[in-house]
C-alpha cells in the first residue's frame, strides 16, 4: 500500500476540479433507489445473506432532537417533549424483532451504530431497553472487540450518561462539535462549549472508550479562518482519535431549515477553499493522517491502521474498520445493505409506524445491484479507501480485462494523469498525494449513473 499518508494542496488544481459530486457512502448512490423494490426482494436478499454467513453490522436511526441546528440535512424530529420518543422506540423494537427473526442468530454483530438526530435524546432507561431488545434478537459481541459507536451532542447530554453508554457496550464516541465560536454557534443555533466537550472527552477516556471522534463543519455563517483556527487549536488540545471536517452544503431548496441561515454571512467559495487548505495543513502538522474524504485520524487509531493494512472499508456511516459485513438498518429513513441490495425504510415517521403496525417491514424503496454495479462499487471503494487500484485483484474477482472493460474511463482520466492527480501503470492505478483531496472527482469517472443523470441530481461541492 501507499506509505505516504498525506495530502498535498494544489490550489490551482483544486479550483479546476472542485465540482459537485457524491460522497460515495454507497454505489450506486441513494438517488438511484426506486419504489419498485419492496419487502419481498429484501427478504430474498436476507436468505442469500444467511447462506453466505457473513457477520452483521447494525444501524439504528434515532431521529429526535430537542432543538434544531439550522445547517442540518438529517432526517430529524424536533421536539422538547421527550415522551414522544417512546412510541417510536416501541416500533423500533418491533422492527428489531421482525428483522431478527429473519437472520441466522449465530451471525456475530461486528459493528453497531446509533445515529440521528441525537441518539442520546432518549433517556438512559430507554437506551437500556433498546439495547436489551437488540441483544435478545441479534448476536452482539460480549468481549468488547466490535466497533460499537454512538453519536452525541456535547451540549445536550450529562456527563453521567457516558458510563451508561459504556455499560451498554458502546466503545466509540462521535461528537458533533462543528464550531466553538459564539457568533457562529448563534447563527446556526448549535451550542456546545470547550468545557462541555472536554468533560465528555475526559469521562470517555476514563470509562475506557477505544476511540473518540469529532465532527467539525467549515463554511458556516460568520466563519473565518481566524475564528476557525481557534476552534481547531482547542480541538487539537483535546486530542480526538479521529476528526471529520465537513464542507457545509447550503441547499435551502432541499432543506427548509437552512432558510434560517443568512446567506450573506456565508464565506465565499474562495474563502472556503483557503479554510480547508489551512485546516488540512494544520492537522497534518499536528500529526494526524489524512484518511480521505474530509477524514483525519491519529496514526495509531484503528482507522489509520486499517488503511495502512489495506483493509479499510466504507459504508453508509462513512469509513469503517470492519468489512465483509451485511448492514441491517432500523428506524425511519435507515438504509440497509444486504447481499446485493440496498433497502431504505420510509422517510416519514407516520409511514414508518403504519408499516410496523401492520406487520410489515417498513421498506419504502431500494435497489438491486447488477454485476456491473458490483464491479464499479469495488473499484470506487478501493480508490476512496486506499487511493490505489490493483487491476489483477479486480480481474480475478470479476473475470474481466480491466483496461478493456474500462477503456472509456481510462481515456477520461487522461487529463487527470497529465495534471498529476493519478498515475497509471500496467499493474494498476494510483492516486498521488496531490489527487487525494480530489478523490471524489476521480471516483466519479467510474460512476455509470453520473453520465445518465446529467445535472438532474444536486450534490455538494467536493471541497
Centre a 10 Å sphere on the Cβ of residue 278 and count the other Cβ atoms it contains: 16
Number of domains comprising the chain: 2
Residues 282 and 375 in one domain: no
Residues 318 and 390 in one domain: no
Beta bridge partners of 151: 174
Residue 205 pLDDT exceeds 90: yes
Q: Which three cell numbers stand for residue 207?
A: 470509562
Residues 231 and 254 in one domain: yes
In a domain, 294, yes or no: yes
Residues 189 and 96 in one domain: yes
In a domain, 349, yes or no: no
What share of the chain has pLDDT > 90, as a percent? 84
* pLDDT one-digit tens code per residue, 425-441: 999 999 999 899 899 99
Residues 245 and 123 in one domain: yes
> What CATH number is given to the structural domain containing 458?
1.10.10.920
> What CATH number is given to the structural domain containing 316?
3.80.30.20
Residue 238 pLDDT exceeds 60: yes
Residues 10 and 61 in one domain: no
In a domain, 232, yes or no: yes
* pLDDT one-digit tens code per residue, 347-383: 999 999 999 999 999 999 999 999 999 999 999 999 9
In a domain, 334, yes or no: no
Residues 320 and 264 in one domain: yes
Instruction: Establish whether the linkage from the previous residue to 117 is cis, with ω within 30° of 0.
Output: yes
> Which range is least confidently modeled, 151-155, 260-264, 442-446, 459-463?
459-463
Residues 24 and 39 in one domain: no
Average pLDDT rounded to a whole number, residues 2-21? 72
DSSP-derived secondary structure letter, 310: T
State the pLDDT at residue 183.
Answer: 98
Residue 461 pLDDT exceeds 90: no
> Which range is least confidently modeled, 32-46, 85-99, 281-295?
281-295
In a domain, 365, yes or no: no
CA atoms within 13 A on the CB side of 314: 24
State the pLDDT at residue 453.
Answer: 58
Residues 379 and 279 in one domain: no
Residues 159 and 20 in one domain: no
Mark which of 326, 356, 378 sits at the end of a domain. Answer: 326
Mark which of 268, 302, 326 sits at the end of a domain. Answer: 326
Question: From CA 296, how far away is CA 299, in angstroms rounded?
Answer: 9
The whole-model pTM stands at 0.94
Q: Identify each DSSP E strand in 186-305 by its residue range.
A: 211-218, 242-247, 289-292, 295-297
> Which range is least confidently modeled, 165-169, 278-282, 317-321, 428-432?
317-321
Residues 272 and 419 in one domain: no
CA atoms within 13 A on the CB side of 165: 32
In terms of residue numbers, what domain contains 418? Answer: 1-28+370-463
State the pLDDT at residue 1.
Answer: 38
Amino acid at each position: 500500500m501507499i506509505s505516504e499518508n498525506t495530502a498535498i494542496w494544489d490550489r490551482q488544481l483544486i479550483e479546476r476540479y472542485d465540482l459537485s459530486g457524491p460522497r460515495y457512502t454507497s454505489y450506486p448512490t441513494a438517488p438511484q433507489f426506486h419504489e419498485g423494490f419492496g419487502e419481498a426482494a429484501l427478504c430474498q436478499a436476507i436468505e442469500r445473506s444467511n447462506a453466505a454467513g457473513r457477520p452483521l453490522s447494525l444501524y439504528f436511526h434515532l431521529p429526535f432532537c430537542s432543538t434544531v441546528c439550522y445547517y442540518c440535512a438529517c432526517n430529524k424530529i424536533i421536539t422538547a417533549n421527550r415522551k414522544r420518543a417512546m412510541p417510536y422506540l416501541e416500533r423500533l423494537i418491533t422492527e428489531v424483532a421482525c428483522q431478527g427473526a429473519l437472520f441466522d442468530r449465530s451471525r456475530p454483530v461486528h459493528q453497531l451504530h446509533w445515529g440521528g438526530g441525537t441518539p442520546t435524546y432518549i433517556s438512559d432507561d430507554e437506551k437500556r431497553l433498546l439495547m436489551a431488545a437488540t441483544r435478545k434478537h441479534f448476536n452482539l459481541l460480549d468481549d468488547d472487540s466490535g466497533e460499537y459507536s454512538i453519536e452525541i451532542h456535547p451540549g445536550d447530554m450529562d456527563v453521567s450518561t457516558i458510563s451508561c453508554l459504556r455499560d451498554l457496550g458502546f466503545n466509540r464516541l462521535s461528537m458533533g462539535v462543528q464550531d466553538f465560536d459564539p457568533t457562529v454557534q448563534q447563527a446556526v443555533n448549535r451550542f456546545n462549549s470547550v468545557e462541555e466537550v472536554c468533560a465528555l472527552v475526559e469521562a470517555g477516556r476514563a470509562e475506557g472508550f477505544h476511540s473518540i471522534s469529532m465532527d467539525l463543519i467549515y463554511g458556516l455563517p460568520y466563519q473565518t479562518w481566524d475564528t476557525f483556527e481557534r476552534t481547531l487549536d482547542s480541538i487539537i488540545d483535546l486530542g480526538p482519535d479521529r476528526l471529520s471536517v465537513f464542507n457545509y452544503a447550503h441547499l435551502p431548496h432541499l432543506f427548509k431549515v437552512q432558510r434560517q441561515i443568512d446567506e450573506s454571512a456565508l464565506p465565499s467559495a474562495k474563502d472556503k477553499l483557503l479554510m480547508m487548505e489551512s485546516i488540512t495543513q494544520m492537522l497534518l502538522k499536528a500529526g494526524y493522517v489524512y484518511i480521505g474524504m474530509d477524514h483525519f485520524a491519529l496514526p495509531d487509531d484503528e482507522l489509520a491502521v486499517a488503511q495502512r493494512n489495506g483493509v479499510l472499508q466504507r459504508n453508509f456511516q462513512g469509513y469503517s474498520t470492519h468489512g465483509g459485513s451485511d448492514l441491517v438498518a432500523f428506524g425511519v429513513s435507515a438504509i440497509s445493505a444486504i447481499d446485493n441490495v440496498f433497502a431504505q425504510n420510509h422517510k416519514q415517521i407516520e409511514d414508518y409506524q403504519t408499516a410496523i403496525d401492520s406487520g410489515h417491514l417498513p421498506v419504502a424503496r431500494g435497489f438491486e445491484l447488477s454485476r456491473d454495479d458490483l464491479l464499479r462499487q469495488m473499484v470506487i471503494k478501493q480508490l476512496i479507501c486506499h487511493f490505489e487500484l490493483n487491476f489483477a485483484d479486480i480481474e480475478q474477482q470479476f473475470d474481466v480485462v480491466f483496461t478493456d472493460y474500462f477503456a472509456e474511463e481510462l481515456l477520461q482520466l487522461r487529463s487527470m494523469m497529465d495534471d498529476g492527480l493519478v498515475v497509471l501503470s500496467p499493474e494498476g492505478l494510483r492516486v498521488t498525494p496531490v489527487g487525494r483531496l480530489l478523490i471524489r472527482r476521480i471516483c466519479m469517472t467510474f460512476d455509470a449513473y453520473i453520465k445518465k443523470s446529467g445535472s438532474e441530481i444536486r450534490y455538494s461541492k467536493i471541497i
